Amino acid sequence: MKLTTLLTTLALAATLALGAAPAQAGRSCEARQPDTTAVVRGLNLAERTARALDASGAEVVVLARAGQDLSKYRLRWSHLALAYKETTDTGTRWRVVHKLNQCGSARADLYRQGLGEFFLDDPHEFAAAFSVLSAEAQQKLHTLLHDNFNVQKLHQPAYNMVAYPWAQQYQQSNQWVIETLAMAMDGRIQNRDRAQAWLRYQGYEPSVLRLGALTRLGARVSAANVAFDDHPNEKRYSDRIETITADSVFDWLPRAGLGQRLQEVR
């Protein structure tokens, strides 16, 4: 059993069923017992991350983990989330809202978790990175992230790990993060098309993955969470697959004046 099946996940609304199948960012749900060492390392990383986030003075950050080894694409971070500080009667804590693919299927849902849960997903590397957002972005996102309706407004359940950034047929996890950021920053944005237009205007540039025809065919046949039919033919057939990566978002945030340079936690 995957470790995440043992964790209690708070779904964002009734449409996100509690106790559903475990959700991981593009991973399968093969039967495997939890690894005690990995659990300890994940919890330790969560603790170090919480300390770093507290020391930053931030209320909202873009947070990343290194869930998969993407080094062959010259990428370090695989999965983004929006993390915010929550104040309760017993003190403060960090909460994470992110989109998770369900067991390598063609569907994903949104989840609200603690830092401990976020880092207990069998990562490739026990490291984290975050960008402290601008004061305006923090204020607007902090309000939005407490509103379950607005958090889901731009969510598209149809999942594609390499979704084209400027289409609406699918949506991958990192795509939901920055489209939601766009909606928070501009109250006129009520759909994904306008969110993507805002991101273009703000100078966001996706990563370009060089994937040959055989690689694309193999991925499409063997993985339900990979599709290429939303990519323009002229790019797809020239082996240029554009998609939203955590690394490209971290590069863009300071350039757009929306966040600081990334800070790494190890």
The pLDDT tens digits for 168-206 are: 999 999 999 999 999 999 999 999 999 999 999 999 999
The pTM of this model reads: 0.87
The residues near 30 (Cβ < 8 Å, ≥ 6 apart) are: 2
Specify the 3-state DSSP secondary structure of 218: helix
The residue written with tokens 């290194």 in the block is: 66
Query: Which is more confidently placed, 29 or 134?
Result: 134
- Is residue 60 a contact partner of residue 145, using CB atoms and an 8 Å limit? yes
CB 114 within 8 A of CB 98: no
Q: Model confidence over 221-249: pLDDT tens digits? A: 457 899 999 999 998 888 889 999 999 99
pLDDT, position 17: 27
